[in-house]
Structure 1
Amino acid sequence: MSIVVIGADYLGIIEKNLYSLGVTELTHIDGRKVQNQNKINIPQKTDFVLVLTDYVNHNTAKMIKAIAKTKDIPLVFSKRSWGSVEEKIMSAGVMN
Structure 2
Amino acid sequence: MRSLLIIGADHLGVIPNKLADMGIEDVVHIDGRKVQMVKKGIPENIHFILILTDFVNHNLSTVIKQKAKSQSIPIFYAKRSWCSIYQALKHVI
TM-score with structure 1 setting the length: 0.89
Summarize deviations over 1:16-65 as a string: whole Å, max 9, x none. Answer: 100110111111110111122212x2134211001111111211111010
The residue correspondences of 1:3-18 to structure 2 (distance < 5 A) are 3-18=4-19
Gaps of 5+ in 1: none
Contact 2:4 2:26 in 1 (8 A): yes
Contact 1:74 1:94 in 2 (8 A): no
Q: Does 1:64 align with 2:64?
A: yes
Q: SS of the residue aligned with 2:85?
A: helix
Q: Does 1:81 align with 2:76?
A: no
CA–CA distance in structure 1, aligned partners of residues 83 and 14 of structure 2: 11
Q: Which residue of 1 aligns with 2:33?
A: 32
Q: CA deviation at 1:67?
A: 0.5
Q: Alignment RMSD, CA only?
A: 1.1
TM-score with structure 2 setting the length: 0.92
Gaps of 5+ in 2: none
Q: Which of structure 1's runs of 4+ aligned residues deviate more than 6 A?
A: none
Q: What is the aligned-residue identity percentage?
A: 46
Q: SS of the residue aligned with 1:18?
A: helix
Q: SS of the residue aligned with 1:88?
A: helix
Contact 2:48 2:75 in 1 (8 A): yes
